[in-house]
A and B are shown apart, each in its own frame.
Chain A
Amino acid sequence: MPKDTGIGASPKRREDVRFLTGKGRYTDDINLAGQAHVVFLRSDVAHGRITSIDTGAAEAMEGVIRVFTGEDFAEVGGIPCGWQITSIDGSVMQEPKHPVLAHGKVRHVGDPIAAVVAETRDQAKDACEAIEVEIESLPAVIDMKAAVKPGAPKVHDELAGNLCYDWGLVQENKEAVDRAISAAAHVTTLELVNNRLIANPMEPRVAVGDYTSHDDHSTLYTTSQNPHVIRLLMGAFVLGIPEHKLRVVAPDVGGGFGTKIFHYAEEAFCTFAAKALERPVKWTSSRSEAFMSDAHGRDHVTKIELALDAEHNFTALRTETYANMGAYLSTFAPSVPTWLHGTLMAGNYKTPLIYVNVKAVFTNTVPVDAYRGAGRPEATFQLERVVDKAARELGVDPVELRRKNFITEFPYATPVAVEYDTGDYHATMDKLLELIDRDGFPARRAGSEARGKLRGLGINSYIEACGIAPSHLVGQLGARAGLYESATVRVNATGGLVVMTGSHSHGQGHETSFPQVVADMIGIPEDQVEIVHGDTDKVPMGMGTYGSRSLAVGGSAIYRATEKVIAKAKKIAAHIMEASDEDIELKDGKFTVAGTDKSVAWGDVTLAAYVPHNYPLEDIEPGLEETAFYDPNNFTYPSGAYACEVEVDPETGKVEVLAFAAADDFGNVVNPMIVEGQVHGGLAQGIGQALLESCAYDADGQLLSASYMDYAMPRAHDFPMFAVDSSCRTPCTHNPLGVKGCGEAGAIGSPPSVVNAVIDALASGGHDVGHIDMPLTPARVWHAMHGGTPNQRAAQPAAHSEETTHDRSVAGAATNV
């Protein structure tokens, strides 16, 4: 029987009613008395020198309060980067200054040049158009491999070149890997692109700055996944405001997917301008602006080589990746292609020797940072594609080749610096095969062929590292922050609880799932537990929500704080019942003395904590409130097996996803309904990457995919119903809930399934194409079958590499309008 309450139940989400009735309070719904509006003038060229800015005409326009330029920020810090990578030669990465408003040069289309603050948004927009800016255009660097060639134009004049870092993992293993590959019975090589994406949460970013002079206090309302981190980065590194004078509030946030982790210039601007003008200043991004100012994702160009012995055991793996950083280093950007990517290259396999090389490159494009999965989708895609290609080259079953090489003994220390605690990769593969009726596939394929279609089935495994992260470890790896989480559990006199968590919910349903944990531990109804998040004045500290860490790290902090509360409550109960602390048991909201019929209710104990008439005052203080900081001692390692079944129309190259199945091992599951929803959303983003989405730049650095007319967002009719299962459970061994995290799995595991399926479909029609780069638009698929290259407006993504890619197109209009 399904549970109807507590851990393992699927209660309806309590946050839903406000969202369903229009009562959600998103940042753009916040309007402060006396508020002014800012509109940014953004660069329309990718690279250039600002020779003059004349704001006179704009400043004279109706409603304009002030026009700011880069000069106004001369005394202010740059937008900081939170992670420092060390190159193979021991040098630290090149780290350019990222000014709030461009100063001297513009470095990507969308780089803000000036900001108009006016009484209304329309007045600010009008005045923006009256600013006269002269920019001397410079040659732009867009292609990563061209950017690191000698003599290439430099994105930052003060740097030695466009190479940010050249990183190796594990450098000491490189020669052994090279030898093993030279000696292998078979080597499969694959060159591929992980296409550049734009996260596109449906709520565009918004910032409202406020300042009160009577107490010299600044407040920022912002669309953030981690308000405390913004408080620290903006306060300490950009504006010089101490944390006790700065409040950051992230109210209801309409999706994040990574791109709302980072500290952005617009946040600093609004906070700065509100103080300068002593008026609230609001910025609301348009969608076009979001395309050219939200950090992008992915954009890797990779060569991967897999060595196998005669028995098809994987003997070595070598990868070389160019990773695009864009024009400036966003908050977590340097960590994504390195520690979130290189460390995952073992995947589910016991490959003994692995070497990963990553070259991070500056280009004249929007900064690139974490997007759902962040590094792990890039690792999974190349690994699961090369394994599939190896199976095809060797003429063996792709599932059996994977099974032969699965890790089966845990804990397992990989050759790329991490230790998997638990997993059962055969179990999720078994479950997957059950979900997809693989045995029935030949008959389904025959049915498709009878209708003139090609049918393919793609299967793959995945593993990811979540629950980010042990602070001592990430500190060694270059993180400039700890990655613990905090929680304060406040019990009120009448027995209700307020849980203040540093995790932030922007769709994940924490207001529902976190109370399930706390109520389960105490044995009280969930509606007795309130979750408070997203406000630095209400929650003592927090590192926020990303990397599928909220339950594994934030939930563990809540668990630990609740344990402390219960321990103290037991002392109070023992005193009331005149028993020993150790004999007190708590169940169903009632304290009992073991072996007796004595009991006292939860509410009586909590009342005693605040009305301490009969209370052990000599031993403990009154009150019932506890805080815990939980710092994990390892990552968590969700894993699973995914399958995609497609039909390809050989006449047009159009791919239709007929079925998609996901068998995941997330460890213990608190709310199965929410977990399934997370997987559905991840799958849509992963399938979207594989078939539809592409951020495209032309050779001059113009962003071609800068609206929903050009960037193919997946729609309802692009998907079938999904078959998802999370019944295979190997609980995490090192956090108290045994949970692993589920937020990114769908986006990590699904792109290779789709591509494997299309390659399989084409092969059944006699087209042995090896690989097609994502997104698999009809044009690309058709040309892969029939030769030639797609002739679509000559658009190139930033990741374009002449050695590895086909011609590019703006994905989408053809399939989605």
Chain B
Amino acid sequence: MTKVTMIVNGKSRSAEAEGRTLLVDWLREGLRLTGTHVGCDTTQCGACIVHLNGEPVKACSVLAQEVDGAEVTTIEGIAGADGTLSAVQQAFQDYHGLQCGFCTPGMVMAATSLLRENPRPSEAEVRHYLEGNICRCTGYHNIVKAVMAASGQDVPAVAAE
């Protein structure tokens, strides 16, 4: 076991890690930041996406010891300090972009990165960017709408009435 320290959501945090401990397990078990989820074991589903030094990564594909000293943002660090939801989080609620909520942290982290890289993506660009995030509930329809809306583009209102 080795002590690993990172700046997590703006604060210095430390916890033990074995050589094989994954970043996602270090966050969930070591720091009890359970908002980052594990949905698969082949780096396919994207439920574990966090921002590592500003880049979106699947935290199940990174060893904690490898990124000792890094800066990490998790879903718990996305809303404002006063609890105000970010534009992406708010759009997910406004457009019903989540149902069971399990894939949602990864979706929000991925969508936040997308809009940093491409502030006004097309529908096709949103769908392509989210290829590494699996949702089983929404059929992606309202997720795509939410991301488009969060970028400030006109999107038809949720629900016909």
Contacts and interface: CB of A to CB of B under 8 A. Distances in A.
B101 A254 contact: yes
Interface in A101-128: 122
Contacts of B99: 255, 507-509, 677, 681
Interface of A: 2, 8, 10, 12-13, 15-26, 28-29, 31, 122, 200-204, 252-255, 257, 284, 286-288, 506-509, 672-677, 680-685, 707-709, 713-717, 719, 721-722, 725-727, 746
B81 interface: no
A713 B128 CA distance: 15
18 contacts: A20-B89, A21-B79, A21-B85, A200-B136, A201-B136, A203-B37, A203-B39, A284-B38, A507-B99, A673-B96, A673-B158, A676-B159, A680-B140, A681-B136, A685-B136, A715-B130, A719-B127, A727-B160
Contacts of A13: 93, 96
A715 B134 contact: yes
Contacts of B134: 202, 708, 713, 715
Given A22-B34, A202-B102, A715 B131 contact: yes
A288 B41 contact: yes
A716 B131 contact: yes
B83 to A, nearest CB: 8
Interface stretch (B42-50, B51-59, B64-72): B42-50
Given A254-B101, A727-B160, A122 B18 contact: yes
A389 B55 CA distance: 52
Q: Is the interface of B mostly helix, strand, loop or mixed?
A: loop
B10 interface: no
Contacts of A509: 99
A680 B35 contact: no
A759 to B, nearest CB: 23
A122 B20 contact: yes
B47 A12 contact: no
B74 interface: yes
Given A16-B93, A707-B40, A727-B160, 14 more contacts: A20-B85, A24-B101, A24-B102, A29-B34, A202-B37, A254-B103, A255-B137, A680-B142, A713-B136, A714-B139, A716-B130, A717-B128, A719-B127, A719-B141
B151 interface: no
Per CB-CB distance, the 9 closest pairs between chain A and chain B, nearest first, are A22-B35, A19-B101, A254-B102, A507-B100, A684-B139, A708-B44, A507-B99, A680-B139, A22-B75
Contact of B127 (A21, A674, A717, A726): A717
A203 B37 CA distance: 8
Contacts of A257: 136
A436 to B, nearest CB: 16
Contact of A672 (B20, B93, B108, B161): B161
A12 B93 contact: yes
Contacts of A288: 41
B100 A204 contact: no
Category for how many chain B residues contact A: 35 or more
A677 B131 contact: no
B161 A2 contact: yes
Contacts of A507: 99-101, 137
A673 B41 CA distance: 33
A716 B144 contact: yes
Interface string B87-121: 00100111010111111110010000000000000
A13 B138 CA distance: 14
Contacts of B32: 31
B44 A709 contact: yes
A255 B140 contact: no
Contacts of B79: 20-21
Contacts of A677: 96, 99, 137-138, 141-142
A297 to B, nearest CB: 13
Given A21-B89, A202-B47, A716-B130, A674 B96 contact: yes
Given A254-B100, A672-B159, A22 B33 contact: yes
Interface in B134-159: 134-144, 158-159
Contacts of B143: 716
A708 B108 contact: no
Contacts of B158: 10, 673, 676
A20 B42 contact: no
A20 B93 contact: yes
A198 to B, nearest CB: 11
Contact of A28 (B38, B93, B135): B38
A709 B44 CA distance: 7
Contacts of A675: 159
Contact of B42 (A26, A29, A254, A707): A707
Contacts of A122: 18, 20
Contacts of A717: 124, 127-128, 130-131
A502 B109 CA distance: 34
B126 interface: yes
A25 to B, nearest CB: 8
Contacts of B76: 21-23
A629 to B, nearest CB: 28
A287 B39 contact: yes
With most chain A CB atoms within 10 A of its CB, the pick from B47, B135, B143 is B135
Contacts of B138: 677, 680-681, 684
Contacts of B83: 21
A672 B128 CA distance: 28
Given A255-B100, A721-B123, A202 B42 contact: no
A722 B93 CA distance: 19
A733 B124 CA distance: 44
Contacts of A506: 100
A680 to B, nearest CB: 4
Given A677-B138, A715-B130, A202 B41 contact: no
Interface string B6-47: 000000000000101000000000001111111111101101
Contacts of B159: 2, 10, 672-673, 675-676
Nearest to A746: B139
B60 to A, nearest CB: 10
Nearest to A726: B160
Given A506-B100, A727-B160, A287 B93 contact: no
Contacts of A10: 158-159, 161
A29 B34 CA distance: 6
A319 to B, nearest CB: 30
Contacts of B135: 202, 716
Contacts of A719: 127, 139-141
B13 to A, nearest CB: 15
A33 to B, nearest CB: 13
Give the most central of B102, B133, B139, B161: most A CB within 10 Å: B139
A547 B139 CA distance: 19
A17 B85 contact: yes
B78 interface: yes
A224 to B, nearest CB: 13
B40 to A, nearest CB: 4
Contact of B144 (A8, A713, A721): A721
A716 B133 contact: yes
Contacts of A22: 33-36, 74-76, 105
B22 to A, nearest CB: 11
A286 B123 CA distance: 33
Nearest to A683: B139
Nearest to B142: A677
B34 to A, nearest CB: 4
Given A715-B130, A716-B131, A23 B35 contact: yes
Contacts of A707: 40-42, 44
A6 to B, nearest CB: 13
Contacts of B102: 24, 26, 201-203, 254-255
Contacts of A284: 38
Contacts of A8: 161
A253 B42 CA distance: 22
B137 A681 contact: yes
Given A202-B103, A202-B136, A708-B40, A24 B96 contact: no
Looking at A28, A31, A677, the one whose CB has the most chain B CB atoms below 10 A away is A677
